[in-house]
Amino acid sequence: MDRGTKNKYLRKICKKVWLLKNTIVALCYKALLYMAYSKEHLNDLHDIKQMMERSSRFISLSGWSGIAAGICALVGAYFAQNVIADSKVNGSYAVDIVQSSRAGSVSLHDLMGHRLFIIAVLTFVAAFVSAFIFTYIRSRKNNTLIWSATSRRLMVNVGIPMIAGGVYLLKLVENGTYGLVAPGCLIFYGLALINGSKYTLGEIRYLGYCEIFLGIISCWFIGLGLYFWAVGFGILHIIYGTLMWYKYERNA
């Protein structure tokens, strides 16, 4: 091969390499444009999903609300246990009466007076107020309304099982069936959480499942209802609130 042919051959190779280089650069540029375009669309889809969730679900429930409600429940259970342990009727302790067949012949007022009722009301008010405060703070951060059509639907769906359960539990107390009050509280509360889960954070239904399971188990341990109540409304709420804080609020 003479020198002229060799130079011509090298020029062809260089031309092909240059064309290949331009092709690779063009492909990389198109790939980057496609990735940016896809990312932009993914961001748009994420924004649309968030808007739909905000319009259909009340997502401002704070994990701290569950933690605070759980702490209030444990404190209330502690004071209630002291009242129950010290209550006597005709020399018999309230716990023994509840576990015996004589429960229907003794009223709740005879057992404990108004002290247990006062503790229950104070516990509920403290849990509700603390949960409302933390939820209000989070709704301000998320720039969402705390009272909207979604939150009203949530309240209705949670309230129906709660009201029905409340009427049923009052009838149990009226008939002196005190041993089934705590299981009934857990079961109906679990049903309320499951019923309202479609209008708020979906994870709340798992808390509802745990409450129902705990309530069913406690039906076979009459006389220990307060301990199951403390686990369901206290410890489970604290665990749930901690997990929700870690998942949704830790990096907020």
Digitized pLDDT (tens) for each residue of the chain, 252 residues in all:
555 555 555 555 555 555 555 666 666 656 666 665 555 544 544 444 444 444 445 566 788 888 999 999 999 999 888 877 766 544 444 555 454 444 444 555 555 557 777 888 899 899 889 888 888 888 887 777 777 777 788 888 888 999 999 999 888 888 877 788 889 999 999 999 998 888 877 788 899 999 999 999 999 988 788 899 999 999 999 999 999 888 877 776
| Distance (Å, whole) CA 188 – CA 161 | 6
- DSSP single-letter state for residue 90: T
Do residues 43 and 93 share a domain?
Answer: no
Same domain? 238 vs 122 = yes
| 88 three-state secondary structure | strand
The residue out of 23, 40, 56 marking a domain boundary is: 56
Among residues 54, 33, 38, 252, the alpha carbon closest in space to that of 141 is found at: 252
Same domain, 34 and 150: no
Do 99 and 37 lie in one domain? The reply is no
Amino acid identity of residue 151, one-letter, is S
pLDDT for 118 equals 86
21 plus 105 within the same structural domain: no
Residues 126 and 229 occupy one common structural domain: yes
d(CA 59, CA 224): 35
Q: Tell me how many domains the chain contains.
A: 2
pLDDT value at position 177?
Answer: 78
Same domain, 152 and 179: yes
**pTM for the whole thing?**
0.70
Task: Let me know whether 93 and 209 are in one domain.
Answer: yes
Alpha helices in the chain (DSSP H): 3-56, 63-86, 94-99, 108-112, 115-142, 149-174, 181-196, 204-218, 225-230, 236-244
Verify that 128 and 202 share a domain, yes or no.
yes
| CB 95 within 8 Å of CB 103 | no
DSSP for 89-111 reads ETTEEHHHHHHSGGGGGS-HHHH
Do 32 and 64 lie in one domain? The reply is no
pLDDT at 74 (0 to 100): 94
Do 148 and 240 fall within a single domain? Answer: yes
Q: Note whether 85 and 198 are same-domain residues.
A: yes
User: What range does the domain containing 3 cover?
Assistant: 1-56
Task: With H, G, I as helix, E, B as strand and everything else as coil, classify residue 48.
Answer: helix
